[in-house]
Chains A and B, each alone.
Chain A
Amino acid sequence: DTGVSQNPRHKITKRGQNVTFRCDPISEHNRLYWYRQTLGQGPEFLTYFQNEAQLEKSRLLSDRFSAERPKGSFSTLEIQRTEQGDSAMYLCASSQDRGLAKNIQYFGAGTRLSVL
């Protein structure tokens, strides 16, 4: 499978714990995005990387959230001191900045987080 891969698919945690999600983009894609989707809503943008540089961050990304893409390939999203309001589907997408598919974002299946 050469699509966007996200792990784990599901994560259940207790309030106050830290969680980390991983995203592996499509191999030739240099742009990577994180979104959050709650029930009955469309995805909301969290942050975006061009290679290893984090270029945009939404105001939704509180201090408890941090994202990295250290080698410009996979990315991790960490949530510290989780709260029940963090329960959502966390989506990763990737795109390339040139060619016919420029600026088309391809999405992974997401990581569903449940905070108890």
Chain B
Amino acid sequence: AQSVSQHNHHVILSEAASLELGCNYSYGGTVNLFWYVQYPGQHLQLLLKYFSGDPLVKGIKGFEAEFIKSKFSFNLRKPSVQWSDTAEYFCAVNPYNAGNMLTFGGGTRLMVKP
């Protein structure tokens, strides 16, 4: 069965610092990739997705992610974080043509200090 690893469980940054959250998955075939964000007290929201094409995808609020197939990675980046980015971030994978379930990583809790 596929698995998703998010190696950073907790990240603390100051405002304006750059962010990179790691995500690796263990599936050899074609995958759809997602990053979801959960702000305190709110539901999971889609941040960005990759289905095909340009491996560098841009999402909402200045976030982007790069799919590197050879490394089975889909890392999330933001050049300059804001206090309002404090949230929990989840990477998720859906193997193409292997059902519709999402397999999530364990999440990374980001705290941005003002």
Interface residues of A (CB under 8 A from B): 3-4, 31, 33, 35, 40-45, 48, 55-56, 58, 91, 93, 95, 103-110
**Cα distance A33–B102 in the bound complex, in angstroms:** 10
Nearest Cβ in chain B — how far from A95, in angstroms?
7
Whether B107 and A41, one on each chain, are in contact in the complex, defined by CB atoms closer than 8 angstroms, is yes
Whether B106 and A45, one on each chain, are in contact in the complex, defined by CB atoms closer than 8 angstroms, is no
A107-B43, A109-B43 in contact; A44/B32 too (CB < 8 A)? no
Whether A42 and B100, one on each chain, are in contact in the complex, defined by CB atoms closer than 8 angstroms, is no
Whether A103 and B101, one on each chain, are in contact in the complex, defined by CB atoms closer than 8 angstroms, is no
Nearest to B99 among chain A residues (CB) is: A56
Residues of B near A45 (CB, < 8 A) are 101-103
Whether A103 and B4, one on each chain, are in contact in the complex, defined by CB atoms closer than 8 angstroms, is no
A41-B106, A41-B107, A43-B90 in contact; A106/B46 too (CB < 8 A)? yes
Residues of A near B92 (CB, < 8 A) are 42
